[in-house]
Structure 1
Amino acid sequence: MYDAVALFSWIAHHYYYFLAFTVLVILLWNSVVVVGGNEIALIERRWFGSKMPQGRVVALGKEVGIQARTLGPGLHFLIPFIYKATKSVFTEILENEIGLIESVDGSAIPSGRIFATVVAGHNSFQDGETFIKNGGQKGPQIEVLPPGKYRINPYLFKLTKGSVTEIKDFEIGIVESVDGVAIPEGKIFAQAVAGHSSFQNGEAFITNSGQKGPQIEIIPPGNYRINPYLFKVTKGEATKINEGEIGLVESADGSAIPAGRIFANVVPGHNSFQSGQDFIKSGGQKGPQTEILPPGVYRIHPNLFKITKAAAVVIAKGEVGMVTAQDGAPIPMGRLLAQSVQGHSNYENGEVFLKNGGQKGPQIDVLLPGTYRINLNLFQVQVAPAVVIEANKVGLVTALDGIPLPEREYVASPISGHNDYQDGSAFLTKQGQRGPQLDVLRPGTYYINPFMFSVELDDVAVIERGQVGVVVSNVGEDPTEEMKKRLGSSQNGATEEEGKEKYVVPTGFRGIQEEVAGPGRYYLNRRAFMVYVIDTTNITIDWDDQEDTRFDQLTVISKDGFPIQVSVKVVIRVRPDQAPYMVAKVGSIDNLIQHVIHPMIDSSFRNQASTASAMNFLQSRSEEQTKAENRARTDLERYHVECVSVLICQIRLPEELMQTQTKRIIAEQQQEMYKMEQRSQAERTEMEKMRATADQQPTLVASEIAVKVATQKKTEMITLAEGTAESKALEGVGEGKRLKAIGDGEASKIAAIGEATAQAYSKQQEAIGEEAIKQIKIVELISTAIQNGNIKIVPDVLVTGGGNATEGLMGMLTKLLPGVDIPALVKQSAPSAAIGRPESGRA
């Protein structure tokens, strides 16, 4: 208690000390500034200083006002009441951020400039006093603050945070500067300057005369601290050319393309148009570019280069690509196609094409099947089917370009080395002629330029067995007049005049070839060689009313005025060696038939019919056929054709004439029938007679046998009479010889009887056979026995059937003489019985 009272008492007696201490504490409190670790102190000088210059905002040094300088973390002593400190936190720029500074004070930005000039020594705007002293300019600053903490006077510098410019993969940054020198007149893009580190160093950009406006440089993928107030960055996609695609490029800036040219010259060093600044520096030209972009990813400025994607040229199997160049030298006058140049790698290298003198227009070289990266702005590609010649076909080729054909020539002279017209350049180099070509294309696939050659399909010339081909050549040497005479006279029956009109020439000369083509297939050019196929076998030509005949049946008028319809067949043949002459004469088999044979046959039969009546013509058909054949053979020989035969198949007379003829024939047939009936009745009568005779045949046989026996007896009696006559003749010789004569007579008698008997038997044997003689003897014995009554042949009572007595007798004899063929014996004996019948009658 005492102490407290003493203290207050002391204070009361010494208050001035306390007051002084209080004042001291207040002074110390106001003079000491403690700045934390994340703070800065803004200083304001209130009293006792010079006045700031007009237009200034922040004070420097001893100038009254808010000071440009700041106090950093720590303990600071200020004169109380003269300086006032205001604390502020550090300016912190986070990752992926940038600080954009605008100065509130400083010198004026020069006219025409937007951003302040960069000054040194201000330590990233942390030393405002130095900034002002070194000529820092009022307004937006070019420099930016990277991530970090900064002691920046917020009264002097207005800070705005911005984002880091992030360019992702497959993106590009397109930059436009809002400050810089002016772009030269005629230019669209600012020229590239060095040192700005992808536009992160705006100071270097401005210092190095960076130009205001769209920049030619682009920003590749990455993170960039770019001042967005100075550079406006627009993100765009990288150019991606997929597989099977190409990129066609057109530049929006560059020098002018030379007059007469359409596509820009190729310049080096631009890295596939990814370095626009190098493109411009190297003299790149504005407009469509010759180079193309193959598949890949490209960082190309889309405002400088317009990229158009197009499909790669794909020529499939069985196709051919025709190319038309949109730029190049002009094609020489008189030529249709551009000349071939080397090194352009199937038009994929347009630069080489143009440098080597490639010509504008349709190209002679073609693209074979494959995939090609061709600038479709420079080269237009048309796809057409390859030429396919199928089996049994032939390709006829016409060249659309080349030197002109000589006069009078229809087909171009053949040349070699053009690989079946697939190498058009070689064709032209070797002076190939324009027009129809002699060489043909055989079956196969050909990659031929349709701009250069047109191909027409034709059938193969097929000559079958039994045929020959007569060739008419439109190419070769012309035969001389002497050759025409000689060839004409060599033909059968041809005169010299005829030879001039229808000559046949050897191989190699123009005209009908003497040598014919045998059976086979021939790949002939029908423009150069016409083939007439001639049948060498028999050819039949009909004149009939059938549907499948060539001509209607012939109608002719007879001498007596009746129309006659005649169906005719004519068979002709052309010998192989005469076929060329026949063609020379009439041209073809069809011409021969239509214009020679048909009129000839028609006229021939009309003439023949007019000389005979209708009935006579019908009845003399064979003679008429022979006449027509002889006449046709003679007429056809003049045309070197052999007439095999002319046949009249049918002759039709008018119906009324045929009815009259039919009635007359019917009457004649009826008369003939009546005659036949008469003959039939006569034959019937004769048959009845023969039947009756046959019925009496057994009796006749027996009678014949009896006649034969009587004949033999007659012969015996004649012989005896002759012997008696001789005997009487010998009586006159003399009595002396009587006895001898009697003996001789008796001997002669016996000999005569024996001889006569022998002769009779011999004749009988020759007539009826030895066996029949035996049977006749048996019958004679039986007959004698019957006559003598020794055998009873007829029974007392006879009962007969349907037959007659002869049949019964024959049957009985067959039983009595088993083994003897009585009917045969009767037949053999019938002649003898007939001869002896009169004698037995007389007996």
Structure 2
Amino acid sequence: MLAIGAVLIVLLVNSIVIVGGEEMALLERRWLGRKMPQGRVVAQPGEVGIQARTLGPGLHLLIPFLFKATKIPFVTIADAEIGLVESIDGHAVLPGKIFAEPVDGHNSFQDAEAFLRNGGQKGPQVAVLPPGKYRINPYLFRVDKAAMITIRDHEIGIVEATDGDPIPAGRIFARTVAGHQAFQDGAGFLRNGGQKGPQIDVIPPGNYRINPLLFKVSKSAAVSIPEDSIGLIEATDGEPIPAGRIFARVVKGHDAYQSGQAFIDNGGQKGPQIDVLPPGLYRIHPNLFKLQIVPAIVIEKGAVGVVLAQDGLPIPTGRLLAHRVSGHDNFENGEAFLNQGGQKGPQIDVLLPGTYRINTALFAVRTAPATVVEANHVGLVTALDGIPLPENEYVARQVGGHDDYQNGSAFLTQEGQRGPQLDVLRPGTYYINPLLFTVELDKVAVIERGQVGVVVSNVGEAPPEEMIRRLSATQGSTQEAGQERYVVPKGFRGIQEEVAGPGSYYLNRRAFMAYIIDTTNITIDWDEQADTRFDELTVISKDGFPIQVSVKVVIRVRPDQAPYMVAKVGSVDNLIQHVIHPMIDSSFRNQASTASAMDFLQSRSEEQAKAEARVRADLEKYHVECVSVLICQIKLPAELMETQTKRIIAEQQLEMYKMEQRSQVERTQMEKMRATADQQPVLVASEIAVQVAQQKKSEMVTLAEGEARSKALDGEGEGNRLRLIGDGEAAKISAIGEATALAYQKQTEALGEDAIRSIKLVELISGAIERGQLKIVPDVMVSGSGASEGFMAQLARLLPGMDLGQLLARGKPDVLPPPQ
């Protein structure tokens, strides 16, 4: 019994298998079963060998000794991991296939019997195990772990399938198939006809359970286009571009090239694309689309963008620029440009200042300065394209609507002519296509006060023959460059009858030539000054003397006569150089040859009047008024002027003496009158005194008459007494005089007149010495025997009988200075 009990216990122990919660049990059937077919590894039910089925957690009863249970842990797939399954047993994989065909019902490879029963194939399995714990038979399935695919922000996943249908010939990328859930469902990918090779779809950012054996995933940066840039696209796959075209046609629905399959399905063409990508972030397949980031076109202020199209229809023969097409939105819509028949080559439209997203592979853009016409200037325009300029025309006819040449298309549409244009540009900034128009700056025509502008028009109708005959008869004509010139009415070609007054004029000098004519007095000098136009005139007189004449001529052009003067001589300079100068030179030569040098000098006013009359008459033929002709200076030869000068000086001196004599007489009279005037107060006082004296005299006469009468008798007596006394004195003096005269007579007879004069002289000197009026001996005397002795001897000879010592002593000073 004990033995039986022991046997039962052993059987019971061997029949019970307890599997833990995270374990599974592998079964092995040892005998009493069918032998596994050749090539099989895992046994199916009833077959001897390692069983396909496994025991899960719990209590299990097995036939003792028939089955052997081996417990192993579950297969664990951690977070961020996937399980790659390879079947060790099963049907053979079909030829040409790498991965086993997916089968259903195996519950993530945990039901091995169902896997084998449903035709599971040996080899790598397409399906992967997500994170978790799995009861997988390791004898049937080998599980390897791999990291999940993580695509971060600003990244994309590039996929290449290692299995699937072949890519059609001529294609580079496999077509998109549905149902693979971003390549996480490999079975769906293969089942729906996924193709082997580079996939056209990309994987956006996220975490993906992708079988790395079926899909090789590489990472690439998403395309980020900065704000001031654009993206240029070139497709590496698609339909071929038609012959003669450079850029692929535009297709829709590809979501800015982020859907490569839509691009292909909609007929996208291989090669450079017309569309550009604006700034932003794009998940574009880098192997399908080559992206080039280029700066956006920026046209700065004060500049203009000139565009050259690299694709389009050919420009018609004879044209320089492509015609305008609409709808291209400043060349940002290349598709519209090509669809509307845009032409290849330089474009007639330009880009104004701003920022543009233009495909620089389709449109080459270069900047050029805008046309700036500064103040006091005018822009002269020349068109480089248009219909030919008619023969014998200097300036193209005027056309409208071109907005100051900024709308080149309107200019050509209105049949603008090639060449210099009639319209001009006033001061300002203009956005003009430099390939169509060139602009040359010129100064404005300024007519000051006292001036007029005579305008010569190169445009307008030619004067008819009848008008030419009439003008020729009334005006005469001159020729310039082989063409006759007339003053014509407004609207005809030629010198305009109407002049322009003071002001500023934006004049096209190619169409209108303006001659500025001074209407105030114009002075022309012939003298020796350095800043004058002409040297002084040298003429020969009748008697052969060279005469130098300085002349000043004043002329004036009346405003109404200015056009006719221009018709005659062209300009004031021509008038002065070719008319007035020869006229003045000839006139004075002729006049000088008919008079002697002195006569010419002396008849200066007559010569001046004759010259003025002749010049006035001659200038009237040229519609110029002669104001005056002045002879400023006449220079005769020096030898002739010297003789004339001496004669004139003598005459002047004679006249001067006469005038001086008259002056002295006048001066005497003047002095007398001045003295009389100075004594007027005295004379007045004297007159008053005389009147007073007369009054007193009358008074005193009356008083004195009585007294005089009383004294008359006394006076008569006294007079008689004095008469007697005078008679006595007179007799005495008469006697003395007679005696003295007789004595002098006798002395003269005895001594002579010279001696008498010497004696008289000595007497005078002696008296002067005595009175101190004459100093004989000096205060300081240098003594010398010769001089003093000679002097004393001379005095002794002159004064015989005189005591010279006593005489000299009278004139000595009280104190004599010491001898020197």
Structure 2 CA distance for partners of 1:105 and 1:652, relative to 1, 3 Å: farther
The separation in 2 between residues aligned to 1:495 and 1:583, in whole angstroms, is 11
The separation in 1 between residues aligned to 2:133 and 2:460, in whole angstroms, is 102
Deviation at 1:615? 4.8
Gaps of 5+ in 2: 677-690, 709-714, 716-820
The separation in 1 between residues aligned to 2:444 and 2:77, in whole angstroms, is 90
Structure 2 CA distance for partners of 1:79 and 1:402, relative to 1, 3 Å: same
- The 5 Å alignment of 1:554-703 reads 554-558=537-541, 563-612=546-595, 614-653=597-636, 656-657=638-639, 661-662=641-642, 665-666=645-646, 668-670=648-650, 672-673=652-653, 676-677=656-657, 680=660
Contact 1:488 1:502 (8 Å CA) reproduced: no
SS at match of 2:361: coil
Contact 2:478 2:567 (8 Å CA) reproduced: no
- The 5 Å alignment of 1:749-764 reads none
Aligned-residue Cα RMSD (Å) equals: 3.4
Deviation at 1:672? 4.4
Deviation at 1:240? 2.7
The separation in 1 between residues aligned to 2:541 and 2:369, in whole angstroms, is 67
Q: Which amino acid aligns with 1:272?
A: A
Deviation at 1:332? 1.5
Q: 2:230 aligns with which of 232, 246, 252?
A: 246
The separation in 1 between residues aligned to 2:75 and 2:231, in whole angstroms, is 49
Using structure 1 for the length normalisation, give the TM-score. 0.75
The separation in 1 between residues aligned to 2:445 and 2:390, in whole angstroms, is 28
SS at match of 1:457: strand
SS at match of 1:482: helix
Deviation at 1:639? 1.8
* Alignment partner, residue 168 of structure 1: 152
* Alignment partner, residue 187 of structure 1: 171
- The 5 Å alignment of 1:55-134 reads 55-134=39-118
Deviation per CA, 1:193-244: give whole Å up to 9, x if none: 1111111111111122211221111112222211112112222232233333
SS at match of 1:583: helix
* Alignment partner, residue 210 of structure 1: 194
The separation in 2 between residues aligned to 1:76 and 1:445, in whole angstroms, is 99
Q: 1:351 aligns with which of 335, 338, 341?
A: 335
Q: Which amino acid aligns with 2:498?
A: E
* Alignment partner, residue 455 of structure 1: 439
Which shifted more, 185-194 or 238-247? 238-247
Q: Which amino acid aligns with 2:522?
A: I
SS at match of 1:274: coil
Kindly tell me the number of residue pairs found equivalent between the two proteins.
683
SS at match of 1:568: strand
Q: 2:531 aligns with which of 539, 543, 548?
A: 548
Deviation per CA, 1:518-537: give whole Å up to 9, x if none: 22222222111111111111
Deviation at 1:49? 4.2
SS at match of 1:490: helix
Deviation per CA, 1:695-733: give whole Å up to 9, x if none: 99xxxxxxxxxxxxxxxxxxxxxxxxxxxxxxxxxxxxx
Deviation at 1:82? 4.0
- The 5 Å alignment of 1:20-419 reads 20-419=4-403
Which shifted more, 257-266 or 405-414? 405-414
Structure 2 CA distance for partners of 1:227 and 1:626, relative to 1, 3 Å: same
Structure 2 CA distance for partners of 1:675 and 1:603, relative to 1, 3 Å: closer
Structure 2 CA distance for partners of 1:652 and 1:43, relative to 1, 3 Å: farther
Q: 2:494 aligns with which of 492, 500, 511?
A: 511
Q: Which amino acid aligns with 1:398?
A: T
Deviation at 1:282? 0.4
Contact 2:477 2:485 (8 Å CA) reproduced: no
* Alignment partner, residue 734 of structure 2: none
The separation in 1 between residues aligned to 2:671 and 2:258, in whole angstroms, is 140
Deviation at 1:127? 1.9
SS at match of 1:130: helix
Contact 2:41 2:89 (8 Å CA) reproduced: yes
SS at match of 1:57: coil
Deviation at 1:464? 1.8
Q: 1:470 aligns with which of 443, 454, 460?
A: 454
Q: Which amino acid aligns with 1:604?
A: S
Deviation at 1:346? 2.3
Using structure 2 for the length normalisation, give the TM-score. 0.77
Structure 2 CA distance for partners of 1:554 and 1:187, relative to 1, 3 Å: farther
Structure 2 CA distance for partners of 1:55 and 1:361, relative to 1, 3 Å: same
Structure 2 CA distance for partners of 1:376 and 1:686, relative to 1, 3 Å: closer
Structure 2 CA distance for partners of 1:161 and 1:689, relative to 1, 3 Å: closer
Deviation per CA, 1:615-647: give whole Å up to 9, x if none: 554444333333332332233222222222222
The separation in 2 between residues aligned to 1:500 and 1:358, in whole angstroms, is 48
Structure 2 CA distance for partners of 1:368 and 1:548, relative to 1, 3 Å: same
Structure 2 CA distance for partners of 1:257 and 1:563, relative to 1, 3 Å: farther
Contact 1:171 1:220 (8 Å CA) reproduced: yes
Structure 2 CA distance for partners of 1:616 and 1:133, relative to 1, 3 Å: farther
The separation in 2 between residues aligned to 1:335 and 1:306, in whole angstroms, is 36
- The 5 Å alignment of 1:736-815 reads none
Deviation at 1:275? 0.9
Identical-pair percentage = 69
The separation in 2 between residues aligned to 1:125 and 1:451, in whole angstroms, is 76
Deviation per CA, 1:9-40: give whole Å up to 9, x if none: xxxxxxxx444444443343333321111111
* Alignment partner, residue 740 of structure 1: none
Which shifted more, 460-469 or 77-86? 77-86
Deviation at 1:56? 3.1
SS at match of 2:577: helix
Contact 1:485 1:500 (8 Å CA) reproduced: no
The separation in 2 between residues aligned to 1:226 and 1:242, in whole angstroms, is 33
Contact 2:490 2:497 (8 Å CA) reproduced: yes
Contact 1:325 1:379 (8 Å CA) reproduced: yes
Structure 2 CA distance for partners of 1:56 and 1:625, relative to 1, 3 Å: farther
1:533 and 2:516 aligned: yes
The separation in 2 between residues aligned to 1:312 and 1:496, in whole angstroms, is 63
Deviation per CA, 1:545-598: give whole Å up to 9, x if none: 334322333444555665544333221111112111111111111222222223
SS at match of 1:309: strand
The separation in 1 between residues aligned to 2:630 and 2:172, in whole angstroms, is 101
The separation in 2 between residues aligned to 1:687 and 1:411, in whole angstroms, is 88
The separation in 2 between residues aligned to 1:116 and 1:481, in whole angstroms, is 107
Deviation per CA, 1:326-358: give whole Å up to 9, x if none: 222212121222222222222222222211212
Which shifted more, 509-518 or 556-565? 556-565
Q: Which amino acid aligns with 1:622?
A: S
* Alignment partner, residue 739 of structure 2: none
Q: Which amino acid aligns with 2:497?
A: E
Contact 1:488 1:500 (8 Å CA) reproduced: no
The separation in 2 between residues aligned to 1:500 and 1:50, in whole angstroms, is 130
Deviation at 1:505? 1.2
SS at match of 1:233: strand
The separation in 2 between residues aligned to 1:484 and 1:457, in whole angstroms, is 36
* Alignment partner, residue 687 of structure 2: none
1:522 and 2:505 aligned: yes
Q: Which amino acid aligns with 1:128?
A: A
Which shifted more, 685-694 or 185-194? 685-694
SS at match of 1:125: coil
Structure 2 CA distance for partners of 1:18 and 1:497, relative to 1, 3 Å: closer
The separation in 1 between residues aligned to 2:100 and 2:666, in whole angstroms, is 168
Contact 1:241 1:294 (8 Å CA) reproduced: yes
Which shifted more, 599-608 or 148-157? 599-608
SS at match of 2:175: coil
Structure 2 CA distance for partners of 1:69 and 1:608, relative to 1, 3 Å: farther
